[in-house]
Amino acid sequence: MNPKTPRRDLLLRTALLAAIAAVSPLLMPTKIAAEILICAIFACATNLLIGYGGLFTFGQAAFYGLGGYAAGFLMARFGLPWPVPLVAGLLMGAVSSAIIGAFCIRRTGIYFIMMTFAFNQMIYYLAYTFRNITGGEDGLVGIKRPPFGLPGMKPLNLDNPTYFYIFVAAIFLVSVLALFRIVESPFGRVLVATRENPRRVASLGYSVSRVQLVAFMISGAFTGLAGALYAMLYWIMPIDAVHWLSSGYVVFTVLIGGTSNMFGPIIGAGIFIWLQGFFSTLWARWPLLFGAFVVIVVLFVQGGVIELFRRLAGLLGGRERAGAS
Amino acid sequence: MSLNLVCMQLLNGIAVGMLYALMAFGLSIIKGLLNIPNFAHGAFYAVGAFVCFSAYERTGSFWLGLLCGFVVSAIVGMAIEKFGVGKLLASAYLFQLLLLFGVALMLEQVIILVWGTTGNSKSPPEFLQGAVDLGITLYPRYLLFITAASAAIITAVWFLIEKTKFGAYIRAGIDKKEMTQALGIDIDALFTLGFGLGAGLAGLAGGLAVPLVGVTATMGTDMLSIAFVVVVIGGLGSIYGAIPAGLIAGIVQSLVTIWAAELSTVMIYVAMLAVLTWRPQGLLGER
């Protein structure tokens, strides 16, 4: 396998991602489209751990929530320029995932999963307890989207849905391209190798735990960034976003889209947001329908649905698929 | 702050800790046998609590309520294993996790559908009401009962696992699955029964909690988090690690309540951090 991705593939990929971002708002309300792109960043970041690192995290919502709270707090209390809350969300995600990751990656398998879950709930109860910062159960309210401006440009009001969508789409494009770049880098190859055969990787002189920790941090950083965007989306950061169920939803999103490349989670995000919206219009008890859907998918159509989307993702991802899986 | 208060909170902590231990013990058995983190464990606890509540209210017998809570949770657990988890043991691990996630989502909503979103409470049966004089302090009789009942149940399950033939099968199933199967033991049935036992213990913990904290629709989630933390503190080396870990969590939580009640839940996690810093594998974990 050629370690360098050919330029043609890079262009094709960028064009495809741009097309996804451009076509989505034509098919649905811009708000829903923006939510899908935000969820897609979250899911792609999670896929770095689940699909590439083989690290089955059930605690990714912790970083999503922390990123959202950090950004949301700054936007609600101070009128800072637009890059500040985004960078705050990103850094919050990176730092918190470095700390939590340092504990979790020391263990493998089921203990790892249970620890990620426990840390997720630790953050949840912290958010619940420190309500003067997070708003507790009521959520962090009063978030104001900062105006978007660049030097020599008239600032754009992001409360305009179209401007906000373009803003989200640009960050989506940059984030997903960066994640693609990361998984194709030498680091990404080593990460996949730690999934396949950690002992072999260690015998080649790499530190497995360091590779996994860096993956945790990268994933946490993009997750925190997605959280920051989510806080802007509805001008509120709800505590549900940091609940463990949110971690479960993102695992489902990643899995239903397919884990073998970064297009899968994007498709998964579309399916998840659409399903959630669909079920919630049917019935107030929509998680029951959603849970039943999850159970039916994993029990009866697991091969079918995953295969279907894998093929679809294969069509979209072209030759990258072979390299990633 | 008086010494009496500390003693009182210590005893409270032991009672609550025994409930946590009971809950996490069930989680440990399921984890040991099937190697899965049971995300639906909180739902089994809530099912046990609500069933116990309803049966207690209809019949007036708390004992019957506890029994119903155990039996219904165990049956629900066995059904989930038989028709869900058990069918997926050969497929990718992530599917098993997601199945449990889906089941947890469903059960939580089913509980709301059946019992509604408003909470309810019920006092303990008459002979467990009131307080006893322990010399240092007056102490609620029901909390003593929780400690004794949880200890009795855990001892009974210990006896079942360590001293009976069925227990030997379970231990064999935890240690060497293939070998157990090769010896002609029906491992599928063993998994189903083991899952039912674990779920039933969660249901019993729920039933015991009813006179203490009442029933609420969200009670399962809170307890699920605690059960996971307790198992993490206990480590995965032994299914009994959950018992000292549960006591630690309960005692830490109760003692912190004296100084900062609002931090009591968060402190359990601080205890987890402390234990993991000291022993990354948990209290009774193996390296």
* Facing B105 at nearest CB: one of A125, A255, A287: A287
Amino acid present at B233: I
- pLDDT tens digit sequence for B273-282: 999 888 888 8
Whether the CB of A298 is below 8 Å from some CB of chain B: the reply is yes
CA atoms within 13 A on the CB side of A307: 5
HSE at residue B103, side-chain half, CA atoms within 13 A, is 26
Q: Do A110 and B236 touch (CB under 8 A)?
A: yes
**Looking at the partner chain, which of B84, B269, B281 has a beta carbon nearest the beta carbon of A122?**
B269
Q: Is B103 on the interface with A (CB under 8 A)?
A: yes
Q: Is the Cβ–Cβ distance between B167 and B161 less than 8 Å?
A: yes
Nearest chain A residue to B268 by CA: give it: A122
Q: Is A216 exposed, middle or buried (0-12, 13-18, 19+ CB in 10 A)?
A: buried
CB-based contact, B71 to chain A, within 8 Å: no
> Are A291 and B91 in contact (CB < 8 Å)?
no
Q: Residue A324: what pLDDT?
A: 39
* Token pair of B153 as six digits: 């149940």
Q: Tell me if A174 sits within 8 A of A222, measured CB to CB.
A: no
Residues 135-194 of chain A whose Cβ lies under 8 A from any Cβ of chain B = none
Binary contact (A292, B106; C-beta < 8 A): yes
What pLDDT is stored for residue A245 in this prediction?
A: 92
In this complex, is the C-beta atom of A294 within 8 Å of any C-beta atom belonging to chain B?
yes
What is the C-alpha to C-alpha distance for residues A44 and A38, in angstroms, rounded to an integer? Answer: 10
pLDDT tens sequence across A267-322? 999 999 998 888 988 888 888 999 998 898 888 766 545 566 666 666 665 544 44
Chain A hits for B99, CB-CB cut-off 8 Å, are: 294-295, 298-299
- What band does A191 get if pLDDT is binned at 50, 70 and 90? very high
Is A107 at the interface with chain B, CB within 8 A? yes
- pTM across the whole model: 0.90
Q: Which member of B228, B263, B280 has the closest CB to residue A117?
A: B228
Chain B CB contacts of A244 below 8 Å: 225
Q: Which residue in chain A has the smallest CA separation from B103?
A: A291
Kindly state whether B274 is in contact with chain A, defined as any CB-CB distance less than 8 angstroms.
Answer: no
Is it the case that residue A323 has pLDDT exceeding 50?
no
| Under 8 Å between Cβ of B202 and B27 | yes
Q: Does A285 sit within 8 Å of B98, measured CB to CB? A: no
A 231-270 residues with CB < 8 A to B: 244-245, 248, 251-252, 255
Quickly tell me which residue has 């919206």 as its tokens.
A277
Among candidates B110, B229, B236 on the partner chain, residue whose Cβ is nearest the Cβ of A118: B229
Residue whose pair of structure tokens reads 């030997």 in the numeric block: B168
**Could you tell me which residues are beta bridge partners of residue A140?**
A237
Residues A221, B74 contacting (CB under 8 angstroms): no
B109 contact residues in A (CB cutoff 8 A) = 285, 287-288, 291
Listed in sequence order, the residues at least 6 apart from B178 whose beta carbon sits closer than 8 Å to its beta carbon are: none
In angstroms, the Cα distances linking A154 to A149, A150, A151, B271 are: 6, 8, 8, 52
Which two structure tokens, joined as six digits, stand for A114?
């249970």
Q: What is the mean pLDDT of residues B175-200?
A: 88
d(CA A146, CA A232): 9
Contact A118 B228 (CB under 8 A): yes
Contact A265, A46 (CB under 8 A): yes
Sign of CA dihedral A158, A160, A166, A169: positive
Tell whether A287 is within 8 A of chain B (Cβ): yes
pLDDT in tens, A48-94: 999 999 999 999 999 999 999 999 999 999 888 889 999 999 999 99
Residue A259: is its pLDDT beyond 90?
A: no
What pLDDT was estimated at residue A319? 44
pLDDT band of residue B238 (cuts 50, 70, 90) is: confident
d(CA B195, CA B176): 17
Distance CA B180, CA B130 (A): 50
The mean predicted confidence, pLDDT, of chain A is 88
What is the DSSP secondary-structure string of A243-309? SHHHHHHHHHHHHHH-SSSTHHHHHHHHHHHHHHHHHHHH-TTHHHHHHHHHHHHHHHSHHHHHHHH
Distance, C-alpha A157 to centroid of its chain: 26
B269 touches chain A (CB under 8 A): yes
Mean pLDDT along residues A231-241: 93
Residue B140 β-bridge partners: B131
List the one residue out of A308, A280, A311 whose CA is nearest residue A35. A280
Looking at the complex, report in whole angstroms how far the Cα of residue A134 sits from the nearest Cα belonging to chain B.
15
For residue A322, the model assigns a pLDDT of: 40
The residue of chain A with its CA nearest to that of B234 is A111
Model confidence at B199: pLDDT above 60? yes
Task: Closest CB to B225: pick one of A121, A248, A292.
Answer: A121
What is the per-residue pLDDT for A308?
62
Number of other CB atoms surrounding residue A103 within 10 Å: 19
| C-alpha angle A56-A274-A179 in degrees, rounded to nearest 5 | 45
| Interface contact B228, partner A, CB < 8 A | yes
**CA nearest to B35 within chain A:** A110
Highest mean predicted confidence (pLDDT) among B49-53, B174-178, B179-183: B49-53
B243 has a pLDDT exceeding 70:
yes
Q: Exposed/middle/buried for A285, CB within 10 Å: 0-12, 13-18, 19+?
A: middle
- Whole-number pLDDT of residue B287: 63
Query: Rounded to whole angstroms, what are the CA distances from A208 to A15, A198, A202, A212, B76?
Result: 35, 7, 6, 6, 41
Of B98, B96, B97, B74, nearest in space to B87 by CA? B96
CB contact under 8 A, A50 and B94: yes
CB A291 to CB B105 under 8 A? yes
Per-residue confidence (pLDDT) for residue A200, from 0 to 100: 92
CB-nearest partner of A125 from B110, B236, B269? B269
Reading the block at residue B239, the tokens are: 């299914």
Q: How far is CA B189 from CA B77, B173, B174, B184, in A?
A: 13, 11, 14, 12
**Distance between CA atoms of residues A153 and B131, nearest Å:** 74
Q: Which residues of B touch A282 (CB under 8 A)?
A: none
Report ipTM for this prediction: 0.90
